[in-house]
């Protein structure tokens, strides 16, 4: 398995970090992308390597094409064929109504959550598709239950960016299905990570937990399990699927 390289964007914290740790434990070599928080990325790397895993740190803001291109050049230099991509990096913003949203906010949302996933997938397909001489692979995109709920009064922009990820997943899955690549998405519900604090609501997961049919927030590790399954050969006939990991919400 250590000959199988998986790139996880936003792997330094939250769901991405849990995913890096699980994939390492399952024996993959993992490229951990992060944007700014080197300390958090190094902590994940140390934990994985102490358990015998292999983690390559890849700093890049995935909403910036030149940085994505440099990251994929660094991936190529590792010398292992890319077997999978987890398009996990994503952001929210503070609660606002649509009639309060600036273009700067909207552009950051599209770039961080949609453009980033498109350009990372584009580069991954160039390397994994049999059409380009690749050996196939799997892509997992992080959507959100917000894509179904719309997030009124909170962040309709975020919800719409994740709805774009759902459609992107369906279209790309069908586009590359005959080229050895499976493309699926996960729609997490309320998961206890730092993302809520970055949207100005550090207690959001605890506050909304009673509204979840399972009466609790999910953990990053529970989402990572679903991602790892979709990446694995156990999901060999699953493509274009959008899997809710949301406690019934
Ligand atoms: P998080 O705890 O805030 O972590 C975000 C990660 O993404 C960090 O590793 C961060 O890197 C990285 N990142 C952000 N923007 C980036 C960029 N432009 N380039 C590279 N890396 C970037 O988030 P999370 O809760 O784990 O969420 C992960 C994914 O799941 C997101 O797509 C999110 O929308 C989705 N999701 C989360 C929830 C939830 O309740 N938590 C629910 C539904 C969907 P640094 O450490 O360097 O900042």
Index of the ligand 1 atom closest to the CA of residue 116: 18
Domain boundaries, the chain: 5-245
From the list 34, 155, 158, 237, the catalytic residue is 158
**6 strand-pairing partners:** 30, 84
Index of the ligand 1 atom closest to the CA of residue 113: 32
**C-beta of residue 93 within 8 angstroms of C-beta of residue 157:** yes
pLDDT of residue 203: 96
- Residue 42, ligand 1, Cβ within 6 A: no
Residue nearest to atom 6 of ligand 1 (CA): 10
Tell me the backbone φ, ψ of residue 45, rounded to 5 degrees.
Answer: -60, -45
- Where are the extended beta strands (E) located within the chain? 5-8, 29-34, 54-59, 82-87, 137-142, 181-188, 242-245
- Residue 158, ligand 1, Cβ within 6 A: no
pLDDT of residue 1: 62
Index of the ligand 1 atom closest to the CA of residue 18: 26
Ligand 1 mean position, distance from CA 133 (Å) = 32
Measure the CA–CA gap between 141 and 243, rounded to whole angstroms: 10
- Residue 35, ligand 1, Cβ within 6 A: yes
- Residue 222, ligand 1, Cβ within 6 A: no
155 is annotated as an active-site residue: no
Q: What is the pLDDT along the chain (249 residues), one digit of tens a residue?
A: 678 999 999 999 999 999 999 999 999 999 999 999 999 999 999 999 999 999 999 999 999 999 999 999 999 999 999 999 999 999 999 999 999 999 999 999 999 999 999 999 999 999 999 999 999 999 999 999 999 999 999 999 999 999 999 999 999 999 999 999 999 999 999 999 999 999 999 999 999 999 999 999 999 999 999 999 999 999 999 999 999 999 999
5-245 maps to CATH 3.40.50.1970 = no
């Amino acid at each position: 398995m250590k000959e199988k390289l998986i790139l996880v964007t936003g792997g330094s914290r939250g769901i991405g970090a849990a995913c890096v740790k699980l994939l390492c434990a399952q024996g993959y070599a993992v490229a951990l992308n992060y944007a700014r928080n080197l300390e958090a990325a190094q902590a994940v790397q140390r934990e994985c390597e102490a358990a015998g895993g292999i983690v390559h740190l890849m700093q890049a803001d995935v909403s910036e094409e030149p940085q994505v291109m440099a990251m994929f050049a660094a991936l190529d230099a590792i010398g292992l064929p890319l077997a999978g991509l987890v398009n996990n990096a994503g952001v929210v913003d503070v609660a606002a109504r649509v009639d309060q949203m600036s273009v700067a906010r909207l552009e950051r949302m599209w770039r961080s959550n949609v453009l980033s996933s498109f350009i990372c997938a584009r580069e991954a397909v160039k390397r994994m598709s049999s059409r380009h001489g690749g050996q196939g692979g799997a892509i997992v995109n992080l959507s959100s239950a917000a894509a179904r709920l719309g997030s009124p009064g909170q962040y309709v922009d975020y919800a719409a960016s994740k709805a774009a990820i759902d459609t992107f997943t369906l279209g790309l899955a069908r586009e590359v299905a005959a080229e050895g690549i499976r493309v699926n998405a996960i729609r997490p519900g309320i998961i206890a990570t730092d993302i809520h604090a970055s949207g100005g609501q550090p207690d959001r997961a605890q506050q909304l937990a009673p509204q979840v049919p399972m009466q609790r927030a999910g953990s990053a590790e529970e989402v990572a399990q679903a991602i790892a399954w979709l990446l694995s050969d156990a999901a060999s006939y699953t493509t274009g699927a959008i899997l809710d990991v949301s406690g019934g919400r």
